[in-house]
Structure 1
Amino acid sequence: MKRILLKNARMVNEGRVVEGDLLIEGDRIAKIGAGLSSPDARVIDLEGNYLLPGLIDDQVHFRQPGLTHKGDIASESRAAVAGGITSYMEQPNTVPQTTTLEKLEEKFAMAAGVSHANYSFPLGGTNQNLEEIKRLDKNACSGIKLFLGSSTGDMLVDDQQVLERIFSSTEMVICTHCEDEETIRRNLARARETYGEDIPMAMHPDIRSEEACYLSSSRAVALAERTGARLHIFHLSTGREVALFRNDIPLAQKKITAEVCLHHLWFAREDYQTKGSFIKWNPAVKEAADRDQLWEALLDDHLDILATDHAPHTLEEKQQPYLQCPSGGPLVQHALPALMEKHREGVLPVEKIVEKMCHNPAILFDLHHRGYLREGYFADLVVVDPDRPWTVSRANILYKCGWSPFEGQQFHARVAYTFVNGHLAYEKGVVSGDPHGRRLTFDR
C-alpha cells in the first residue's frame, strides 16, 4: 500500500493548531501524532506549514454539460485542487438542466474519471418536477437546489403551491438562491427609465437590491419553519438577512442555515469603479456596511458555511454592456489564498477557515469520512505556506475562462500541496495529470 508521511506540520483541526506528523496509507489517514516514522513511505517535510483538511465547496458552477466554452469539470476541478478545494457540489443550471434523476446520473458519469476533486451534484427543482424530487434517494446526492430568484440558466421556481409541496416532501437539504423577482423587475424598470439601455454596472446592487434579497430569504425561512424543511440559503449578501439565522445552538441541531461567499466578504460597492463587470454576481456585491456585517456574522456563527459560488464566463461575455453581461465569476483557485490574507490581517483565525470550509460542510451535508483530520478518514488534505508571496496574473490562472477578479492582487500565502483520496493532486504549482476525484457519499 502506498504511504506518504507528512512531517513537521501545523495541523489545523477542530478548533486547534497542533504541531505533528500525519501518515497517509492508500486513500486514508492512517496515523496522526508526533515523531511518526514509516520506513517505506515517501517523506515530505512540511517545515511548519499549515496542514488543513481539504476544503469542501458547497456551491460551484463548472458549466458541464452544455456551457463548456466557459469551463468544464476537468478544467475547473484542476483549478479547485490548485486552490486546496478537494470536494465540491456543482449546481444544476447547465444545458440541459439537472432536473431529472436520469440527468443527475448522467452528470455523475461525466465527472467519473475526469474530476480532480471529489464531487456531488444537487437535483434542481422546478415548477414541474416535484415527482422527481420525491423519487430521489436521500443518499444519492448533496441535496435539492431551488432558484427563488432568476439567474444564469432560467430555473426560477415561482409557483408558491409548488414550493410548499417541495418543502413538505423531502428530508434532504434544500439549498436556495433567494432574490425576489418582482422587486428586481421593478428596480430594473426604474433604471431603464433613467439610463435607457446603457445602465452603469454600479447600479447592480440597486437593481438586485437588499430588499429583493431580504424579501425572498425571509419568505423561505418562514416556509421552512412552517413545513419543518431542512433549508440552507446560499450566498447571503446583506447584513439585514443575518437576523434570520441562529447562532445559539450547534450546527448539527440547526434546521435553517446559511452560507456566505468570498466575493461578498472581499468586495463592496466602491469596487465597481475599478472591477466593473468582473464583480457582477447574483446576488449583487453590496455596501461596505453589508460586508462588515457579513464578516461579523461569519465569525459569530450566524453564518455556517463559507463557499465560492465559482461561476466562470468568458472574457468576451463579461465585457458586454450591463443588460447583456452575465453574472458570476471564477474563484476556486484563489479563495483560500484570499482567506489566508484575512488571517494575516488578523480578521479571520485559520481555525475558523477550517470550521467554515471543511468541518461545517461535512456536518451540514452528512458527508462520509471527510472534512476533518482524523485517523480512518479519507486523506483529503491541503498544505498552505503562509509566507510565500505571489501575484495573480493571466500566466498563473488555471480557469478555462482565463481571468480572475483578483488579477493583480498579491497574496502572501499559497497552496503547496493538495491531496485527494491520498493522491498527490497538486504539488508546488503542478496539477497531477491523473484525476482521483470520487463521488461523494453520505451518512443520512
Structure 2
Amino acid sequence: MTSKKTLIKNAKIVNEGSISLGDILIEGEYIVEINKTINPKHIADVHVIDVDGKYVMPGAIDDQVHFREPGLTHKANIETESRAAIAGGITSFIEMPNTNPQTTTIEKLNEKFEIASKTSSANYSFMFGGTNDNLDEILKVDPKQVAALKLFLGSSTGNMLVDNPEVLENIFSKTKLLIAVHCEDETTIRQNLEKYKNKFGDSIPIKYHPEIRSEEACYLSSSKAIELAKKTGARLHVFHLSTAKETDLFSNKIPLKDKKITAEVCIHHLWFTNKDYDEKGTFIKWNPAVKSQSDKEGLLKALLDDRIDVIATDHAPHTLEEKANVYTKAPSGGPLVQHALPALLEMYHQGKITLEKIVEKMCHNPAILFQIEKRGYIKEGYFADLVVVDLNLPWTVKKDNILYMCGWSPFEGTTFKSSITHTFVNGCLAYENFKFNAVKAAKQLTFNR
C-alpha cells in the first residue's frame, strides 16, 4: 500500500523568520519536499490543495492547557478540547496535572496517555505533578516521554501546592526534568484577600482581582523560583507572566536553546486589561490576574525582544454556572485554544506583532524549549503539522461556533479578520473550512533528550 500524498500549492510559507512562496509535498505523516514549485504531474496518486497565496504555518504547540480529564469532565475533556484546538490551529498540546485524580503517580500519568491515544485530535503530552511528598515518583519519570514537571508555587488545587522550602530545593536539585512553575505568593494573596473580604464579604467586586493577586505576589514568587534555579542549576520555565516588572527577571542575551531559565506569556495577558473587568466580569478571572495596560504593554515588549520565549493559552474551562458565582467562589480560568491564534493574527493586523514572530513564539520556540522531536517547523523530514491561514476571511465569535464543551468564550462578540481554513495533523487533513474530517491522526509527543 502506498502512502497518501498531498501537495499544497502556492503557499506563503512562514518559517524560521521569513516568508517565501512555495509548494509543500506531504507523504504519509511527513513533509518530504519543499520547493518553489512542485509539479503534481510527476507524482502518482497525489491530492492537490491550491491555497492560492494563503499563509501556511507550522501547527502551533500549546505548552499549557487544562483539558479536565479525568475527573472534571463536566467542564471539558480531551476529545472536545483537542477538537477546538485544531480548529484554532493548535496541533500539539501539553496538558497539566491538576485533574482528578491528580497526575502525581506514574500510574495516573499512563491512564491519561491511554485516554488521549483513543480520543485526542491533536498531538499530546502531559506534565507530571509535583507535591510535597512525591519525589520518589518524580524520579521514576522518563524524560523522553514527559514534557516537564509542573510545580504550583501558588494557586494550586488539592494538595499540589509545593510550599515546603526543603522539599522544593530537593526537587530542583534532583530532577532531570524541565520544571514548569506557576508563581504567585500564597501568603501575600491570603493577606490581600482577607482585607477585601473584611470590606465586601464574599461579593468582592471583580475589579479588585488584580489587587488581590497582585504584582507583588507574582514578583515575589517568580524571583524566588529563579533564585532557586540558579542555586541548584535546575532548568526552569516560568508560566504565564502577568506583570511588566517580572519581565526584568529574564534575559535575551543568549539563544533559547542555551537558556536555563525561560518564560511564557498567555493570550489573555496580551489582550485584556483591568479596564475589561466591568464588561467581562468573571469571564476574565484568571490566576495570575489580568492587570494594567502598562503590564500588557510591558509583556508585549518583552515578548518581542525575546525575554519572553513562548506564547500559550492556559486553556482552563469552567461551566457558566461555576463562573456565575460570587467572587470568592467563581473559579479562575477560561477557554482559549480555539481563539488564541486568531487573536494573535488580529494583533498582526493591528501592527503589534509580525507573522514570523507569532510562528517563532507559538511553534518554533515551544519545540526548542521542550526538545520536541520533529515538530514546530516546516522542514523536510518533519511531521506534517501545518495550518493554512486566510488573513482576509472575517468571522465573529458566537455561541453557535464556539467548540468548547463549556459553550462560552471571553472573545464572544469579537470579530476576527483572519480564519484558519485547514489544519493538518501528522499529514492528515483534520480540519477544513470550519468542518472536521473523521480522522484521528494524533500521536504522543516525544522528546529528544
Report the alpha carbon displacement of residue 197 of structure 1 after superposing the two structures with TM.
Answer: 1.9
**Identical-residue share of aligned pairs (%):** 61
- With normalisation by structure 1, the TM-score equals 0.99
Unpaired runs of 5+ residues, structure 2, are none
Q: Is the 8 A contact 1:3 1:23 kept in 2?
A: yes
The AA in structure 2 aligned to 1:329 is G
1:302 alignment partner, one of 302, 307, 310: 307
Alignment RMSD:
0.8
User: What is the match of residue 6 of structure 1?
Assistant: 8
1:311 alignment partner, one of 272, 293, 316: 316
Q: Is the 8 A contact 2:145 2:445 kept in 1?
A: no
The AA in structure 1 aligned to 2:67 is F
Report the alpha carbon displacement of residue 434 of structure 1 after superposing the two structures with TM.
Answer: 2.4
User: What is the match of residue 237 of structure 2?
Assistant: 232
Which aligned pairs between 1:353-392 and structure 2 lie closer than 5 A? 353-392=358-397
SS of match in other structure, 2:118: coil
The AA in structure 1 aligned to 2:303 is L
Q: Is the 8 A contact 1:22 1:31 kept in 2?
A: yes
Which aligned pairs between 1:161-180 and structure 2 lie closer than 5 A? 161-180=166-185
SS of match in other structure, 1:6: strand
User: What is the match of residue 255 of structure 1?
Assistant: 260
Which aligned pairs between 1:155-304 and structure 2 lie closer than 5 A? 155-304=160-309
Cα separation, 1, equivalents of 2:158 and 2:250: 28
Q: Is the 8 A contact 1:116 1:437 kept in 2?
A: yes
Cα separation, 1, equivalents of 2:236 and 2:99: 23
Cα separation, 2, equivalents of 1:220 and 1:24: 43
Which aligned pairs between 1:313-352 and structure 2 lie closer than 5 A? 313-352=318-357
SS of match in other structure, 1:418: strand
2:36 alignment partner, one of 34, 37, 52: 34
The AA in structure 1 aligned to 2:49 is I
User: What is the match of residue 139 of structure 1?
Assistant: 144
SS of match in other structure, 2:31: strand
Report the alpha carbon displacement of residue 27 of structure 1 after superposing the two structures with TM.
Answer: 0.2
SS of match in other structure, 2:111: helix
SS of match in other structure, 1:360: helix
Deviation readout 1:190-219 (Å, 9 max, x if unpaired): 001111221011111011100000000000
Report the alpha carbon displacement of residue 140 of structure 1 after superposing the two structures with TM.
Answer: 1.9
Report the alpha carbon displacement of residue 433 of structure 1 after superposing the two structures with TM.
Answer: 2.6
Report the alpha carbon displacement of residue 308 of structure 1 after superposing the two structures with TM.
Answer: 0.3
Report the alpha carbon displacement of residue 154 of structure 1 after superposing the two structures with TM.
Answer: 5.0
Cα separation, 2, equivalents of 1:153 and 1:382: 37
Report the alpha carbon displacement of residue 425 of structure 1 after superposing the two structures with TM.
Answer: 0.8
SS of match in other structure, 2:139: helix
Cα separation, 2, equivalents of 1:432 and 1:322: 41
Deviation readout 1:256-293 (Å, 9 max, x if unpaired): 00000000000000000000000000000001110000
Cα separation, 1, equivalents of 2:47 and 2:326: 53
- With normalisation by structure 2, the TM-score equals 0.98
The AA in structure 1 aligned to 2:52 is E
Q: Is the 8 A contact 1:113 1:436 kept in 2?
A: no
Cα separation, 2, equivalents of 1:107 and 1:259: 25
User: What is the match of residue 27 of structure 2?
Assistant: 25
Which aligned pairs between 1:394-413 and structure 2 lie closer than 5 A? 394-413=399-418
Cα separation, 2, equivalents of 1:277 and 1:147: 22
Cα separation, 2, equivalents of 1:176 and 1:204: 21
Deviation readout 1:82-134 (Å, 9 max, x if unpaired): 00000000000000000011111111001002100000001000001011111
Name whichever of 157-166 and 133-142 sits farther off. 133-142
The AA in structure 2 aligned to 1:343 is Y
Q: Which runs of at least 4 in structure 1 moved beyond 3 Å after TM superposition?
A: 151-154
Q: Is the 8 A contact 1:152 1:326 kept in 2?
A: no
Report the alpha carbon displacement of residue 153 of structure 1 after superposing the two structures with TM.
Answer: 4.6
Q: Is the 8 A contact 2:131 2:159 kept in 1?
A: no
User: What is the match of residue 90 of structure 2?
Assistant: 85
Q: Is the 8 A contact 1:5 1:37 kept in 2?
A: no
Deviation readout 1:286-342 (Å, 9 max, x if unpaired): 011100000000000000010000000001111111011000000000001100000
The AA in structure 1 aligned to 2:104 is T
Cα separation, 1, equivalents of 2:101 and 2:147: 19
SS of match in other structure, 1:135: coil
Q: Is the 8 A contact 2:12 2:19 kept in 1?
A: yes
Name whichever of 154-163 and 307-316 sits farther off. 154-163
